[in-house]
Structure 1
């Protein structure tokens, strides 16, 4: 549609300068934009048989005026007009118009009229929203009508008319960028037909086929952009080509106190292969809570060390940094690696020593928080960066590491499972590895949903676990009382639980506490000096207390599914059976569905899929996620299969020599070039 991109709006008959400005405000600047301004739903104006219509449905019927209309006025300039109508020569109904008294003189006995509105079956009454007289050439009669996003002076009727006018003038210029091979492979209708159908379907199947064709195109072009960018970046030998002996890594893995799962072995092989390549690795490792991401990252860090380079691991909290520091020290002690810790709470002297050791190369692997990316931190030869819980860091923060060495390899990890097709889209410039298995012997967390009136029994259950020298979390959504949301708050709940469990120490943790106070509370909980931790969601990430066996989530319906799953993952880390108890009285169906979903599965990827369906991709990723594209038609919550199809096709096309040279692909290459898709990614 290159030519239509350059055709100004005012070339459309009946479209002047003033209305062109109104369309500009909607993001419509050319004829191409106008034709591709797709509806978001349809109104059904097809005539219906009243005997088949359910109560409350919106319907369209053709009727005859039976009696003179009666007008009642009330309030200021308000009116209610009623009139008897005969439908299909069978049904006598009452029709009601609000503030349409000007129609009174046109409602003549015996005159035909078409009415649309809400049907009250019990009262045999139609509340009219739209009406028209046959012969008035009004476009909605007897059809599915598109509904567009409009604003300002633009009405639905006008934009329908102007889009139809544009299609009448320019539909012959609509070109198809999708190679015929893929259109035939997936049985897609031609692009021109799809655009005509989506704006004016004759029936529901027209709209479905049109949407399917255009969604594929949208996803195919997006995936093609990603594939081209990836292909271009892979041709640049701008990274570190690590050299290490495979046998050294195998010995390291064999010496681990446990066997790797098949999933861990597969992902480890992918990472080691990346390290040996001449371009910079950029891989996302996602895995459910407890799936063993850290040991996979540790194996990559060991291979990086054996090839003569330093490694770094950045995590979101000091608690998590210290936990990784201790575990990696134990793991690497037999191999003589020097592990460093760089966090904000270090003394000035400790910090100076770590910085000097990093710069001189005395530290082989450093673990730290965002303190690692500060300007004064210099490495001797940084080769691999691991960022844990990557969504907690901004894109800019992660990219700073690129300048701390000679384009070091980057591995980002997350315990927030994302359906693979979405991960591929959201992190399109990354390769994606997924850990789906849990280590053998790990007991499944038992999850229960109870109402608030059972809180006393829940506290009794907690007490039994405490008597067995175990610990518990109690999570609630707010810190203090709120007039706006009637939910339990952490401060009040802490006081109540402390009173009931008076023989035990109950700690309090929330986001408004000073950092050193939070660290102290978590340290006490880790050492079993605090037996019950009442907390807001600050424990969602970065807490590993194997002795904790109970996770109670108060007002659980206030949380999203993925967040509930993350909180549940704080327990089940030891040998004892663990439990998650959801306390909620949800009023909405979505709230009830969340609770049911949590009790039927512990699979984080299944939870993520359910969460996506309930909330949609925008809420799923949150406003901080900069990688998610905005599509005109595609809905990533429901178009998974189409996304995967488009990705496979785009990958196949980019791998072929024909795509880069053959004349038949020239229009597609020009489209990508004119849209400056690659340049946007490379900037």
Structure 2
């Protein structure tokens, strides 16, 4: 019978009293099992090296013999201890700062191990640590783990405590992975890996230990998701849409443009899912302007032709109104009725929309979060589409889905993420990706300028206006803020009206009434205003093909993905479009963002750089997305391991023996401890 190390309190270890236990608890360590899985984030190298191998300024550990009596110089409370040490026959000057108490121990002829910074020209070593072999120096010749510590916990104490835990309980560390996976990937056994990761003999040993534990960490995470899919998502209790391929071909053939190969492939994936009796749970991601809305329209058309209703939930009223107009125009020849449900509808109009949904008179409804209110009922909801899904909380998306009998779900995002991260954050979903842009779309030219070049920017606006084109001018805040020295929309609107008296300049921001917002957007879309000063309310989805110039004020205040979204508001027509970023970034991070934007307009590359700059948790908003925190795995560097782990987990959970064979008992026990296997639904 195996002992569960995750139930043994850490206080059972020698040297761990109540205070230390509390401080370990603050690090997330309450049991011996959690302590053993508290891995070092790097190693201090105390291996002995030869002076000839070391570059000037490098850290080095050397062994030598004390050659002279030490001397001490004092400067108030500070001191400088100096001694000559013979290393490899070379006389080296060793200097300790504020270590005068060592003077009596530095006797000529005594062997010593020194670690410090090497000054090659002066043959001078600034000593950080020193040990005497005749006292049994513990560090010299080793790689020492470095852990994150806090409070009164020190590296030395944690290393000793970890050694005690490994000595006392290391033999009880269970193997989590089945033998076939260990053999397939040539992994070291789990017990050996955990031992080595805390006590590596050399770099290669540490790397092999890390490789094993990274795979296990990613595999166990994927196992939860794949087991959930196998036991919950693949139940035949969804809406099976009898899709008629000829109907779809007719609808697609009547579109005023031809689909890209990427759009055709994604539509096939979605329609294949919709035909099945299982609930579709698919993520559609694509760069700005890649044509996701058309793909969603084909899916909505398919659900209506199958006798069901469709719902499209979007984050803003402006976007809801735009989608409702474009879908109505698209579906009008087929007699498909499109409703609009937003918070600004009059009470009478709202009642009419709700009644038509409940009676089935409306085939498709487009709306904001107003769609998930309690009094919204459908006659037969077959498909739920959410656009820019990361803007809705988990609960909001779940409520809309529950308004039907397990409807199919298509979530869309224009924030492209590397496939690796998509299958991690949205691991319970199938992922479809649009890589191509519609034919005829020209790349957007992007420039980064400083604030003192505003006159040239105004000249650019005039030239585009003379050619009959329009300009978006974006700034971060609506009105003046004492905390942030940024241009605000209201002031900028007034300044541009004075600087460009010959051009009509409009204003759009989030605090305007819905009617005023719609009027401002309509005036710009119809060409009545040439320049639209706006906050980021236009970031998502707004489509004005005649707008060719996007100017972003204080661009360093925005994240990379947001800047890319803003840039995607232009470049939607036949004319060359431009994006001008106005910024004087003082931080290196701000400069990196500006450089990334001018280097590429590929949303996937932008997303990768954004992840490098911000890290996955901040990029996704960990609380809303469920982004896991991994102990060892780095999702940017370990993406190949993640994809392999996912494939392995999917294959394993699809096999009957996984759920019954004793070989997989440890993994099944692990799943039983996870809340996701105890009935908690994944969104």
TM score, norm. by length of structure 1: 0.93
Q: CA–CA distance in 1 between the matches of 2:254 and 2:392?
A: 33
- Aligned ranges 1:640-655 → 2 under 5 Å: 640-655=639-654
Identify which range, 273-282 or 329-338, moves more after superposition: 273-282
- Return the offset for 1:466: 0.8
Q: Provide the rounded CA distance (Å) in 1 between the counterparts of 2:248 and 2:667.
A: 45
SS at match of 2:447: strand
Q: Residue 35 in 1 paired to residue 36 in 2?
A: yes
Aligned length: 679
Contact 2:70-2:84 at 8 Å conserved across structures:
no
- Given that 1:114 and 1:141 are in contact with CA atoms closer than 8 Å, whether structure 2 keeps it comes out as yes
- The residue that corresponds to 1:59 in the other structure is 60
Mark the CA change 1:371 to 1:17 in structure 2 (over 3 Å): closer, same or farther.
closer
Q: 1:312, 1:640 → 2: CA distance?
A: 34
Paired residue secondary structure (1:386):
strand
Superposed counterparts of 1:38-187, under 5 Å: 38-50=39-51, 52-63=53-64, 64=66, 66-74=68-76, 78-88=77-87, 89-98=89-98, 100-119=99-118, 126-187=125-186
More deviation, 397-406/568-577: 397-406
In terms of mean alpha carbon deviation, does 316-325 or 57-66 score higher?
Answer: 57-66
> Mind listing any 5+ residue stretches in structure 1 that lack a counterpart?
none
Pairing of 1:181-260 with structure 2 (within 5 A): 181-260=180-259
Task: Let me know the Cα RMSD of the aligned residues.
Answer: 2.5
Per-residue CA deviation, residues 420-453 of structure 1 (Å, 9 max, x unaligned), is 1211110122221111111111222122233444
The Cα shift of 1:19 comes to: 3.6
Deviation at 1:142, TM superposition (A): 2.4
1:114 CA drift (Å): 3.0
Alpha carbons 1:361, 1:381 under 8 Å: kept: yes
How far off its partner does 1:652 sit? Answer: 1.4
> Do the aligned partners of 2:243 and 2:271 also contact (CA within 8 Å) in 1?
no
Deviations 1:129-151 (A, max 9, x none): 33333333343222211111222
* Equivalence map 1:463-478=2 (5 Å): 463-478=462-477
User: Does the residue aligned with 2:625 lie in a helix, a strand or coil?
Assistant: coil
How many Å apart are 1:328 and its aligned residue?
0.8
Q: In 2, are the aligned partners of 1:316 and 1:542 still within 8 Å (CA)? A: no
Partners in 2 of 1:112 and 1:353 — Cα distance? Answer: 92
Secondary structure, in 3 states, of the residue corresponding to 1:135?
helix
Deviation at 1:295, TM superposition (A): 1.3
**1:142 aligns to what SS in structure 2?**
coil
Q: Deviations over 1:349-387 (max 9, x none)?
A: 211211121122111111111111111212222221111
Cα 1:143/1:587, change in 2 over 3 Å: farther
What is the rounded CA distance, in whole Å, between the counterparts of 1:297 and 1:375 in structure 2?
Answer: 25
8 Å contact 1:61–1:87 — kept in the other structure? no
Seen in structure 2, the aligned counterparts of structure 1 residues 522 and 80 have a Cα distance that, compared at 3 Å, is farther
Please give the residue correspondences for 1:193-592 in structure 2 after superposition, counting only pairs within 5 Å: 193-479=192-478, 487-513=486-512, 515-592=514-591
Kept in 1, the 8 Å contact 2:92–2:124? The answer is no
Q: Deviations over 1:441-494 (max 9, x none)?
A: 122212223344433222212210011121112223345566765554444544
2: distance between equivalents of 1:204 and 1:535? 54
- State whether residues 560 and 597 of structure 2, in contact with CA within 8 Å, keep that contact through their aligned partners in structure 1: yes
SS of 1:384's equivalent in the other structure is strand
- 2:533 aligned counterpart, secondary structure: strand
Structure 1, residues 203-229: CA drift from partner, whole Å, max 9, x if none? 222222111110000001111111110
1:400 offset after TM fit, Å?
0.6
- Structure 1 pair 322–21 and aligned structure 2 pair: CA distance change class (3 A): closer
- Is the alpha carbon distance of 1:681 and 1:640 closer, same or farther for their aligned partners in structure 2, counting shifts above 3 Å? farther
Alpha-carbon distance, 1:611 to partner: 1.9
Distance 1:403 1:681, change over 3 A: closer
Judged with a 3 Å threshold, the aligned counterparts in structure 2 of structure 1 residues 677 and 410 are, in CA distance, closer, same or farther, namely closer
Secondary structure of the structure 2 residue equivalent to 1:387:
strand
Alpha-carbon offset, residue 192 of structure 1 = 2.0
- 8 Å Cα contact 1:389/1:412 also seen in 2: yes
Range 580-589 or range 159-168, more displaced: 580-589
What's the CA shift string for 1:291-310, capped at 9, x where partnerless? Answer: 11111111111111112111
Looking at structure 1, the residues matched to 67 and 517 of structure 2 have their Cα atoms a distance apart, in angstroms, of 75
CA distance, structure 2, for counterparts of residue 530 and residue 570 of structure 1: 16
Q: Classify 1:482/1:135 alpha carbon distance in 2 versus 1 (closer, same or farther; 3 Å).
A: farther
Q: Which runs of 5+ in 2 are unaligned?
A: none
Give the distance between the partners of 1:56 and 1:521, measured in 2 at CA.
62
Separation (CA, whole Å) in 2 of partners of 1:400 and 1:644: 31
Judging changes above 3 Å, is the alpha-carbon distance between structure 1 residues 541 and 87 closer, same or farther for their aligned structure 2 residues? farther
3-state SS, counterpart of residue 682 of structure 1? coil
Q: Retained in 2: the 8 A contact 1:234–1:279? A: yes
Moved more, 469-478 or 210-219: 469-478
Secondary structure of the corresponding residue to residue 678 of structure 2: helix
Higher mean Cα deviation, 140-149 or 658-667?
A: 658-667
3-state SS, counterpart of residue 415 of structure 2: coil
Bigger Cα displacement from structure 2, 312-321 vs 253-262: 253-262
**Residue pair 1:613, 1:638 contacting (<8 A) in 2 also:** no
Closer/same/farther in 2, CA of residues 333 and 202 from structure 1, 3 Å limit:
same
Structure-2 change in CA distance of 1:309 and 1:3 (3 Å): same
Could you give the per-residue CA deviations for residues 611-669 of structure 1, whole angstroms, max 9, x where no partner exists?
Answer: 22232211221245332111111111211111101111111112223322333222222
TM-aligned CA distance change 1:524 to 1:49, over 3 Å: farther
